[in-house]
Structure 1
Amino acid sequence: MSVHSPALQNRPLFLIAGLLFLSALMRFSLHADDAWAFAQPSPKEQPEEVQERALNFCAQNGEPEALILALEEKRQRLAQQEDALRTQELVQKISIARIKDQLKELEAAETALSDMIARAELAAEKDVSQLIAVYSAMKPKQAALLFEEMDATFASGFLGLMKPRIAADIMADLSPEKAYALSVLLAGRNASVPSR
C-alpha cells in the first residue's frame, strides 16, 4: 500500500484554483478598460445616460454592475470637486479684483489728501507771510502793543520770520518781561535741531 502525503493529494486542486483565479483576473483586466471608457460620458451625455450605458455594457459582457456604478460614483464625486475648485478659484479672483480696486481708491484718496494738505500749508504760509508784512509795515510801538497781548510762542514765531532790524525795533518797545520771554523762545527755537 502506498502512502501519499496530503500536500501531494491537494496539488491538482490548487492548480485548478490558481488557473481559475488567473482566468478571472485576465477577464477582469481585459474588460476594465472598456468599462472605464463606457463610464466616461461624452460632453453631451447626462449622468443617467452614462449609467444606462454602463448597465448595458455590464449585461453584454457579464461584468458586475457594482464596479461600473462605483466608477460612475467616483467620476461624479470628482466632477463635484472640480466644480467646487472652479467656484473657489472664481471667488478668489473676484476678491483679488475687489482688493485691487480698493487699493486704487485708497491711492487716489491719499493723493487727493496730500494735494489738499499741500494747498493748506501753502495757504497758511501765505497768510503768515501776509501778517508778517502787515506787522513789519506798522510802527514799532503799534506792533509792540499787539505782540504784548499775543502768546509768547506765537509772537516769537512772527518775530523769527521778520527782518532782524524790524524785529529789534518791535522788541525794544515791549515790556522787559515780554521781551525776555520772546528772547528765550527765539534763542531756543533751533536748540533741538541736530548740529550734524
Structure 2
Amino acid sequence: MKTPRPAPAPAPAPKPAARKPRRRIGRGSLVLIAALFAASGLVRFGSGFALALDSAEATPAAAETAECVTEPGVMQLYSEVQTRERKLAEREKVLSDRSQAITLAEKRIEARLASLVEAEQNLAQTVTIADKAADEDVTRLVTVYENMKPKDAAPLFSAMSPDFAAGFLSRMRPETSAAVMAALDPKVAYTISVIMAGRNAGAPQN
C-alpha cells in the first residue's frame, strides 16, 4: 500500500501588484490656479481702478466739452437773441439821441420865446410911448386948429384925407368943428360927416 503523498502545500496567494502612486495634481495645481486667478483679479482691479481715476480726471474736461458743444438750433437761437439785443441797444441809443435833441430844441424854443416876450414888452412900451407922444401931438394940433379962424383952417382940412380930417374934427370943440365944416366944400364936408358918423355907429348907446 502506497503511502499517499502529502498534499502539496497550497501555493501562496500572489501578492497583489503594488499600485503605482498616482501623481496628485490636486493641491499643488489648485494652489497655482488660485494664485493665477488672484493675480488676474489684482490686475483687473488695478486696471479698473486706473480707468476709474482716468474717468474721474477726464470728467471735468468732458463736462466742459459738453457745455461747449451745442446743437445748431440752440446756436441759431442764441445768435438771434444777440441780434435782437444789439438792435434794441441801437434803438435805445437812437431814442436817447432824439430825447437829447428834443430837450435841446425845447430849451432853445423856451429861450427864443423868452426873448420874444421881452421884445414884445419892449415894443409895447415903445408903442405906448409913441402913442402917448402922438396923442400929445394930435392934441396940440387940435388946439392949434381950434385957435385958427374957420375960413383959414378949411383949406387945410380940404387938403387932408377925409379919415385924417375926421379924426381932428371929432376931437375939436363942437362949435369950432361946425364952423370949419361950414367953411369946407359941401362934398368934402359930407364925406367927413359920413366917416365921423360911421365911427360912432358901433359905439354903445348906454
TM-score range, shorter chain: 0.5 to 0.7
Residue 145 of structure 2 is matched in structure 1 by 135
In the TM superposition, what whole-angstrom CA distance separates every residue of 1:111-158 from its partner, at most 9, and x where no partner exists? 233233323322322221111011112222211232233333322221
Q: Is the aligned partner of 1:104 residue 2:108?
A: no
Deviates more, 1:74-83 or 1:120-129: 74-83
Question: Which residue number corresponds to residue 149 of structure 1?
Answer: 159
How big is the shift at 1:166?
1.7
**Which one of 180, 183, 186 corresponds to residue 173 of structure 1?**
183
Where does structure 1 lack aligned partners over 5 or more consecutive residues?
1-56
CA shift in 2, pair 1:174/1:82, >3 Å? closer
Change (3 A) 1:147 1:84: closer
* Matching residue within 61, 64, 68 for 2:68: 64
The Cα RMSD (Å) is 3.4
User: Compared with structure 1, are the counterparts of its residues 188 and 76 closer, same or farther at alpha carbon in structure 2 (3 Å cutoff)?
Assistant: closer
- 1:156/1:63 Cα in 2 relative to 1: closer, same or farther (>3 Å)? same
**Cα distance in 2, alignment partners of residues 191 and 176 from structure 1:** 22
The residue number in structure 1 matching 2:125 is 115
Corresponding residue of 1:28:
none
Which runs of 5 or more structure 2 residues have no equivalent in the other structure? 1-60
Between 1:162-171 and 1:70-79, the stretch displaced more is 70-79
Paired residue type of 1:110: E
> Does 2:87 match 1:83?
no
How many residues are treated as equivalent by the alignment? 140
Q: Report the identity percentage.
A: 37
Q: Distance in 1 between matches of 2:91 and 2:69?
A: 24
- Which structure has the larger Rg? 2
Relative distance call for 1:195 and 1:146 in structure 2 (3 A) is same
2:103 paired residue among 80, 93, 97 = 93
Pick the aligned partner of 1:182 from 189, 192, 197: 192
Pair 1:79–1:187, CA change in 2 (3 A): closer
What SS does the corresponding residue of 1:188 show, helix, strand or coil?
helix
Give me the whole-angstrom Cα distance separating, in 1, the residues matched to 2:137 and 2:62: 94
Equivalent position SS for 1:189:
helix
- Mean CA deviation greater in 165-174 or 57-66: 57-66
> Closer, same or farther in 2 for the Cα pair 1:153/1:76, shift >3 Å?
closer
Amino acid in structure 1 at the alignment position of 2:67: E
Q: Cα deviation per residue 1:22-76 (whole Å; 9 max; x = unaligned)? A: xxxxxxxxxxxxxxxxxxxxxxxxxxxxxxxxxxx99837313666874766655
Match of 1:191 among 174, 185, 201: 201
Aligned to 1:7: none
TM-score, length of structure 2 as denominator length: 0.52
Cα separation, 2, equivalents of 1:58 and 1:147: 115
Q: Structure 1-normalised TM-score?
A: 0.54
